[in-house]
Amino acid sequence: MAKATDGNGTPVPQRLLAAATRLFAEHGYDRTSVQEIVEAAGVTKGALYHYFGSKEDLLQEVYARVLRLQQERLDAYANAEAPIEQRLRDAAADVVVTTIENLDDASIFFRSMHHLSPEKNKQVRIERRRYHERFRALIEEGQRAGVFSEATPADLVVDYHFGSVHHLSTWYSPDGPLSQQEVADHLADLLLRALRP
Amino acid sequence: MAKATDGNGTPVPQRLLAAATRLFAEHGYDRTSVQEIVEAAGVTKGALYHYFGSKEDLLQEVYARVLRLQQERLDAYANAEAPIEQRLRDAAADVVVTTIENLDDASIFFRSMHHLSPEKNKQVRIERRRYHERFRALIEEGQRAGVFSEATPADLVVDYHFGSVHHLSTWYSPDGPLSQQEVADHLADLLLRALRP
DNA sequence: GATCACATACCGACTGGTTAGTCTGCCGGG
DNA sequence: CCCGGCAGACTAACCAGTCGGTATGTGATC
């Protein structure tokens, strides 16, 4: 038999992760039983506990994936060759787009983080902090250069923007009047407008 | 014995609600057992199920209280006698202050809403929508008057601001460098600055 | 190229513990 | 004497994680 696949083509660990992501987002972490996850993935508990140490590990893996992705993208935009205004706008819009593209991950992220054990929670917070600080550095760079207002501490500006990103999973619907890109452009625009000197 | 009080002075239903609020915020709705709630309130299950139909009713009551409070305050600021810029700024800052003052309620609100049954969830959404629309009306009024930019749809501006409010429970700490009022002023300022024509 | 040893991948019944909600009954004041 | 207000034991259901077992693949040895 091929390694860890089954009738379906995709490997079992990934199928489990995908099923867990969908179910966690739909019913919440605590309301999703391990039994439901393995059924949705077409395997049994034995398979899950063969690849993952616990139900919590599954949740942490969802986080880890999202964080890696977002950090990579932020770094790419932040380190690009362009005026600071442009780099911040691109980064701010991109995080909106990728969040919308992974709305399930986003809602899990913000609703279920406190379900992680203290150590794993700490780990996630550290990664989040790195992301936050890279973003803040962009704003401070613009403030020093005089293109952004210094009326508001950069930290607060970051939280202001991420608040709106965080909030997306509450209200954004692909069936709504605005496309992903339109929402992203508007939100980035609001940020840049708020930062005008 | 006096009616519904016990050794403590405050009535049992309120004690239950207060205990539930604190515990829900601390450990999450699902992780809080009914047993823990009644112990924290100094009563037993008999008392809880005497006053509340279910654990879920307790959660809904927390929501209802917060919503009533916020709606009242918004109406007061929105209908005041002042230029639209001032009214929006006051309302935007006030919602930040009252949210910080009730951070427990806020984190419950945004983390546990999906634990409510469909009917109760619908009820809460209806109330939230009313709040959202009153706020939006303020922005549209300013846009029509020409004092706010029309570059962004008012709906989106509302979600942008509420995103940051929503997000407060994630990062705000009373021990931090900023007081409630300072945060509120900064966030309201960011909103108004973003809306400059 | 047949056999053996061992590992990987998975199955599914079982266990120990927890939980929301029920129900019977006591107790004291009006 | 009756009823609101509450106590607390009880139940029925559920659930994460375990564990012994099976099947298939892989590499070494003769």
- Mean pLDDT, range A44-73, rounded to an integer: 93
CATH of the domain at B185: 1.10.357.10
A182 and A99 share one domain:
yes
The CATH number of whichever domain residue B37 belongs to comes to 1.10.10.60
The token pair at A145 is 């250069």
Q: From chain B, pick out residues whose CB is under 8 angstroms from the CB of A159.
A: 164, 167, 171
Instruction: Share the mean pLDDT of chain A.
Output: 92
Looking at residue A8, its pLDDT comes to: 56
Instruction: State residue B3's pLDDT score.
Output: 47
pLDDT beyond 60 at B125: yes
Read off the pLDDT of residues A98-140 as tens digits, 9 standing for 90 and up: 999 999 999 998 889 889 998 899 999 999 999 999 999 999 9
Helix and strand numbers (H, E) in chain A are 9, 0
| For residues A159-166, average pLDDT | 95
A33 and A75 in one domain? no
The mean pLDDT of B89-104, rounded to a whole number, is: 95
Give the pLDDT of residue B8: 59
Residue A123, chain B, CB below 8 Å: the answer is: no
The reply to whether residue A111 touches residue B111, judged by beta carbons under 8 angstroms, is yes
CB atoms A190 and B152 under 8 Å? yes
For an interface test with B, which of A26, A150, A156 has the most B Cβ atoms less than 10 Å from its Cβ? A156
CA dihedral A82, A84, A90, A93 (to 10 degrees): -170
How many structural domains are present in chain A?
A: 2
Q: Percent of chain A scored above 70 by pLDDT? A: 95
Q: Is the pLDDT of residue B96 over 90?
A: yes
- Alpha helical stretches, state H, A28-102: 34-41, 45-51, 55-78, 84-101
Residues A125 and A146 in one domain: yes
Q: The domain containing residue B40 runs over which residues?
A: 12-51
Average pLDDT of the residues in B116-120: 90
Mean of the per-residue pLDDT values for chain B?
A: 92
Residue B91 is encoded by which pair of tokens? 């309302």
Q: Pick out the nucleotide with least CA–C1' distance to A13.
A: C9
Segment B176-186, tens digit of pLDDT: 999 999 999 99
% of residues, chain B, pLDDT over 90 = 86
Residues B38 and B60 in one domain: no
* Euclidean distance between CA atoms A167 and A104, whole angstroms: 13
Residues B46 and B103 in one domain: no
CA distance B75 to B70: 9
Banded model confidence at residue B84, pLDDT cuts 50, 70, 90: very high
Q: What is the pLDDT of residue A7?
A: 47
Whether residues A123 and A28 share a domain: the answer is: no
Residue B4 has pLDDT above 80, yes or no: no
* B79 and B17 inside one domain: no
pLDDT > 50? residue A2: no
Structure tokens at B28: 């999450």
Alpha-carbon distance of A46 to B96, in angstroms, equals 48
Identify the band that residue B5 occupies on the pLDDT scale cut at 50, 70 and 90: low
Share of residues in chain B with pLDDT > 70 (%): 95
Predicted pLDDT at A1: 40
Sign of CA dihedral B171, B175, B181, B186: negative
Q: Report chain A's terminal Cα–Cα distance, integer Å.
A: 64
Phi/psi at B49 (nearest 5 deg)?
-80, -5
Question: Which 8-state DSSP code applies to residue B115?
Answer: G
Res. B81 pLDDT band, cuts 50 70 90: very high
CB contacts under 8 A, A 39-58 vs B, are: none
Question: Does B70 have pLDDT greater than 80?
Answer: yes
